[in-house]
DNA sequence: TATAGTGCTATCCTTTTGGTTACTGGTAAC
DNA sequence: GTTACCAGTAACCAAAAGGATAGCACTATA
């Protein structure tokens, strides 16, 4: 149903606005807590890369594994289970010959796009900053 | 200082656009790598909460410690060093009586605001989803 | 003198994460 | 028959993260 919710009815504040709202800098828990909730779901180095890989059409276990550098079967297996438990991905088994397994993103995983985009943008410019910092003088 | 850079000169693509750009779903490394670069800097449960606390005006070690639930001195100490090494915070020692230490954010840390905002927004709605999922039916 | 606060560090321990190698049972290719 | 692919799991181990408790040198307060 409501796939096109617009944040009009209920003003969603940015982290900064939320803090400003409290008047001074006493209560930062109102910001820290939701951020930690998010961090608890996408914790570790692997979850977002896995989501990215699946979103690019890599649905099969080995396919995902091959497309994420240095991940191992064991880790991938565990992280996929975590993601499934958080309802971000769906595991489907097909009764073909041989049996094949496909992982797909749930619509809920799509709500993480702004997070991924922010991280992608920051990571991109951070990499530039790092590689640029040797020739620029500190 | 260039605080108001507009992404006009160089089109910064979203993660999704970057992928679409490659034509099909073969190369997701171009997205995964920057995201991992970002993740490597803000890894663990503590870095962003610490940045948030400092941005709210909690500059002193104990002050930060008191405002982040369940963090310990040891962990805070280590994370502060990491953040300093990544040039996200600055440690200043004042020769007062007694000596006082202050942690402040660098301008570079402010570039993480979109990340924090995205995480805050997602974490907020995720919390609602979790608490709402018991009464709403699947 | 005792207590509390400051900015940490040290020690010890547990949990989590990650890595390696090996293995399963079925199918298909050589 | 041998090899390889598939989707994992098991066993073992190392490293990193995190938690608990204690302590230090110093200062301020009572």
Give pLDDT tens digits for A90-134.
Answer: 999 998 878 899 999 999 999 999 999 999 999 999 999 888 766
Q: Are residues B36 and B95 in the same domain?
A: no
Q: Are residues B32 and B54 in the same domain?
A: no
- Any domain includes A125: yes
- Any domain includes A81: yes
Q: Classify residue A13 by its DSSP letter.
A: P
- Any domain includes A99: yes
Q: Is the distance between the Cβ of B69 and the closest atom of strand D smaller than 7 Å?
A: no
CA–CA gap between residue B51 and residue B55 (Å, rounded): 6
What pLDDT is recorded for position B131?
81
pLDDT tens for B94-127 read 988 889 999 999 999 999 999 999 999 999 999 9
For range A66-83, the mean pLDDT:
96
Q: How many domains does chain B have?
A: 2
Nearest chain B CA: its distance from A133 CA (Å): 12
Chain B residues touching residue A129 (CB < 8 angstroms) = 108
For range B71-79, the mean pLDDT:
97
- Any domain includes B1: no
- Any domain includes A6: no
- Check which CATH number belongs to the domain holding B69 and give it: 1.10.10.10
Given a cut of 60, whether residue A4 has pLDDT beyond it is no
CA–CA gap between residue B59 and residue B80 (Å, rounded): 11
Q: Say if residue A79 is exposed, middle or buried (CB neighbours under 10 Å; 0-12, 13-18, 19+).
A: buried
- The CA angle B80-B83-B89, to the nearest 5 degrees, is 90
- Any domain includes A25: no
- Any domain includes B34: yes
Contact in structure between B115 and B74 (CB atoms under 8 Å): no
Q: Say if residue B65 is exposed, middle or buried (CB neighbours under 10 Å; 0-12, 13-18, 19+).
A: middle
Q: Is the distance between the Cβ of A60 and the closest atom of strand C smaller than 7 Å?
A: no
Q: Are residues B39 and B95 in the same domain?
A: no
Domain boundaries, position B25? 13-43
- Any domain includes A32: no
| B40 at A interface, C-beta within 8 A | yes
Given a cut of 50, whether residue B22 has pLDDT beyond it is no
Peptide bond into B98 cis (omega under 30): yes
Report the distance from CA of residue B97 to the C1' of nucleotide C6 in Å, as an integer: 11
Q: What is the mean pLDDT of chain A?
A: 84
CA quadruple B103, B105, B108, B113: dihedral positive or negative?
A: positive
């Amino acid at each position: 149903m409501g796939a096109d919710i617009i944040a009009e009815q209920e003003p969603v504040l940015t982290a900064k606005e939320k803090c400003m709202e409290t008047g001074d800098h006493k209560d930062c828990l109102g910001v820290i807590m939701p951020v930690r909730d998010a961090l608890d779901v996408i914790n570790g180095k692997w979850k977002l890369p896995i989501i990215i890989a699946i979103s690019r059409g890599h649905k099969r276990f080995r396919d995902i594994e091959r497309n994420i550098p240095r991940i191992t079967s064991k880790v991938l297996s565990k992280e996929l289970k975590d993601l499934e438990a958080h309802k971000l991905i769906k595991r489907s088994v097909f009764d073909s010959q041989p049996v094949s397994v496909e992982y797909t993103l749930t619509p809920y995983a799509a709500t993480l796009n702004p997070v991924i985009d922010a991280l992608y943008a920051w990571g991109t410019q951070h990499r530039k900053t790092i590689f640029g910092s040797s020739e620029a003088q500190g």
